[in-house]
Amino acid sequence: MADLTTDVRYIKGIGEQRAKALGKLHIATLRDLISYFPRAYEDRSVRKAIRDLTDGETVCVEAMVAAPPTLSRVRKGLELVKLRVVDSTGTLDITFFNQAYQRDNLHTGETYTFYGKIEGTGRRKQMVNPIVEREGAHVLTGRIAPIYPLTAGITQSLLVKSIQQGLAACRDLLEDPLPDEVRRDHNLCHIHYAYDHVHFPESQETLAIARRRLVFEELFLLAIGLKKLRNRRAAVAVPPCTQTDLSPFYAALPFSLTLAQRRAIGETLSDLTSGRPMNRLVQGDVGSGKTMVAAAALYCAAQNGLQGALMAPTEILAEQHYRGLGPLLEGLGVRCALLTGSTPARQRRSILEQLATGEIQVVIGTHALISGDVTYCRLGLVVTDEQHRFGVGQRSALSAKGENPHLLVMSATPIPRTLALIIYGDLDVSVIDELPPGRQKVDTFAVDSSYRQRIYAFIRKLIQEGRQAYVICPMVEGNDAFPDDRKAVTAYAKALQEQVFPDLKIGYVHGKMKPKEKDAVMAAFSGGETDILVSTTVVEVGVDVPNAAVMLIENAERFGLSQLHQLRGRVGRGQHKSYCILLSDNQNPETRERLKVMTRTSDGFRIAEEDLRLRGPGDFFGQRQHGLPAMKIADLSCDMALLQEAQQAAADLLARDPQLTACPLTARRVRELFDENRDALN
């Protein structure tokens, strides 16, 4: 007898080899198999007689093979199987490319269902590479068919058949992790119904019912897990910082802070004095002054005898922070140091020594901060900048160097609040929703390449006035995933130099360069030695060159809105009027609309919401580094309302039953889901 933990090899047709391939899809047991949900569906339920077929439609045709299929080798690597099929209303030609086995698969005089796209009209109708199924089988055709994500060695039809068998063997053993009253209160179907219809829906309606329930379940369990993590943190005690007088800090600043900055600092300091470890995300648009929140926190920690560490994802950024914060904090009597991969060995030794003794109170750096031989004295505050570039693992590696240190995360990717809850999980969020006064809006234009000469002339004029320019291209040379009409950075820089601006200094930088080379190029641009910097998105994060007043973005349609917004944030950082030009020849109305959004607003949160609406959360989840359980079925771009409902349900349940004693199954599933945090959730 099979149960949910039975190995997939139990399924007929799955042996050693296929089991291994399925392993790549994280399918090891029958439970994994039947919980492997389709990523899409194809409605193959429309069936037609041959006479009624029209050019271009995709349908099922039930027809008999009229004569033995022929196989011909047109040339090396191209084999054709051709056959003619008939029904009582007409004939249809079928062609298979490189599926030689179809010749022996299809027998004259027998009837099959063919699903595919019709080409041609009248007597000359044909179907190329249809899906074929024996008459009456209706697993792959004649229904709404599931489409599963595949891997080498695993086909759709194998998955369909295996999941059918898997469901037959053990669907009844599935236990419902949703408590009955939750299921009833939120109108959710039974788990068995949900599994049947998410794989093999009878209609769009049954599919919607099944999907809604499974999405709810996933988000509900996630919400419970996150709430428990949060509660657990609230149970850890650390020595509270004393209320620190910030007036020397404020007095040392060359500007007065915005209200939003003060509010975020207030929230941060109240965390530090709470006696619980802080776990806070500071979110704010580019240029909103997040660094000042970090500075205030580091100052407060130092006043309380705690060491602070600020980790940035690149050397450029670490140095930039050090240049800004170092003098400020040193001026207030706080000893600072910079530690990166390029810190010379002797200097590094001395820094490590002083870190271990506590002489250095604040260290700013890169991953170098978490290398094995770095020990801290009383590491009490960990700040990470641009957190989406760090994995949760790196964050906790730094935290592990202290004892429950306070954690402050700064992110420049504005994320709608609902999403932040998921992506940043158990972090509290401060939002800086105000820019320092006097910032000028970056004038933004979306144009096609008929404007190219005018754009170049405009850039030249600005450079003659003493400004600098960025040109952003979407790819790195030698990436064959893209056709060659996309402009490679190196080729582009060369052409620009030779054909457009022979008299100007042009530099280029891309992600495949060594950090040393990259830094040299950035330093040259930052120092005003180069006029134009051609770059990929590596300039996206935090780079600060106030003299750069114009950015040209090539193939702008290839970037997400939030990414365009990040990029645009590189200009308009000084007192000069600044411009951003989005160049795209893409005529797709949706693309044009997306780019228009950029010309209309400079509010990062609005742009993020728009991006979410237009593109889905892929951008935010792109790097999947948040360390939370992967979503099997929920899609946060369209399941947002359900997310809120599930979060509310989770909060209600935990309020009624904090230990989940009445629903042990729910508790167990949450623990399984958060495997790596298992202990934390007990």
410/595 with CB nearer ligand ADP: 410
Which residue do the tokens 């709470």 mark?
A: 274
Structure tokens at 563: 């990414």
Shortest Cβ 290–Mg ion spacing (Å): 5
Shortest Cβ 289–ligand ADP spacing (Å): 3
101/255 with CB nearer ligand ADP: 255
**What does each C-alpha distance from 398 to 271, 283, 315, 371, 590 come to in angstroms?**
19, 21, 17, 9, 43
**What does each C-alpha distance from 152 to 23, 99, 134, 156 come to in angstroms?**
11, 17, 25, 11
Shortest Cβ 287–ligand ADP spacing (Å): 5
Please tell me whether residue 395 adopts helix, strand or coil conformation. helix
The DSSP code for 582 is E
Query: For the chain, first and last CA: distance in Å?
Result: 32
Total binding residues for Mg ion by CB under 5 A? Answer: 1
Shortest Cβ 544–Mg ion spacing (Å): 8
391/574 with CB nearer ligand ADP: 574
247/661 with CB nearer ligand ADP: 247
* Cα 405 from Cα 422, distance rounded (Å): 23
Instruction: Give the interface segment with ligand ADP, choosing from 22-30, 70-78, 253-261, 514-522 (CB under 6 A).
Output: 253-261
**How open is the CA angle 22-27-33, to the nearest 5 degrees?**
110
- Residue 292 interacting partner from ligand ADP, Mg ion, none (CB closer than 5 to 8 Å by kind): ligand ADP
CB of 535 closer than 8 Å to CB of 521: no
22/382 with CB nearer Mg ion: 382
Which residue do the tokens 């600098």 mark?
A: 468
Please tell me whether residue 192 adopts helix, strand or coil conformation. helix
DSSP state string for 473-527: -SB-TT-TTS-TTS-BHHHHHHHIIIII-TTS-EEEE-TTS-HHHHHHHHHHHHT
Structure tokens at 604: 């990062």
Residue 399 touching ligand ADP (CB under 6 A): no
Instruction: Give the interface segment with Mg ion, choosing from 37-45, 510-518, 540-548, 674-682 (CB under 5 A).
Output: 540-548
Classify burial at 493, counting beta carbons within 10 Å of its beta carbon; exposed 0-12, middle 13-18, buried 19 or more. buried
38/542 with CB nearer Mg ion: 542
Structure tokens at 342: 């390029």
Shortest Cβ 385–Mg ion spacing (Å): 6
Please tell me whether residue 20 adopts helix, strand or coil conformation. helix
Shortest Cβ 474–ligand ADP spacing (Å): 23
Residue 412 touching ligand ADP (CB under 6 A): yes
Instruction: Give the interface segment with ligand ADP, choosing from 254-262, 421-429, 457-465, 616-624 (CB under 6 A).
Output: 254-262
Residue 255 touching ligand ADP (CB under 6 A): yes
94/260 with CB nearer ligand ADP: 260
Please tell me whether residue 317 adopts helix, strand or coil conformation. helix
> Any bridge partners for residue 464, and if so which?
none
* Cα 195 from Cα 44, distance rounded (Å): 20
Residue 286 touching ligand ADP (CB under 6 A): yes
- Residue 425 interacting partner from Mg ion, ligand ADP, none (CB closer than 5 to 8 Å by kind): none
Shortest Cβ 281–ligand ADP spacing (Å): 13
Which residue do the tokens 């062609």 mark?
A: 95
Residue 221 touching ligand ADP (CB under 6 A): no
Residue 292 touching ligand ADP (CB under 6 A): yes
Residue 542 touching Mg ion (CB under 5 A): yes
- Among 102, 141, 244, 258, the residue binding ligand ADP under the rule CB under 6 A is 258
- Among 146, 179, 289, 405, the residue binding ligand ADP under the rule CB under 6 A is 289
Binding mask 116-155 for ligand ADP (x = CB under 6 A): ----------------------------------------
Gyration radius of the chain over CA positions: 30
Which residues contribute to the site for ligand ADP (CB under 6 A)? Answer: 255, 257-258, 261, 284, 286-292, 412, 436
Q: Which residues bind Mg ion (CB under 5 A)?
A: 542
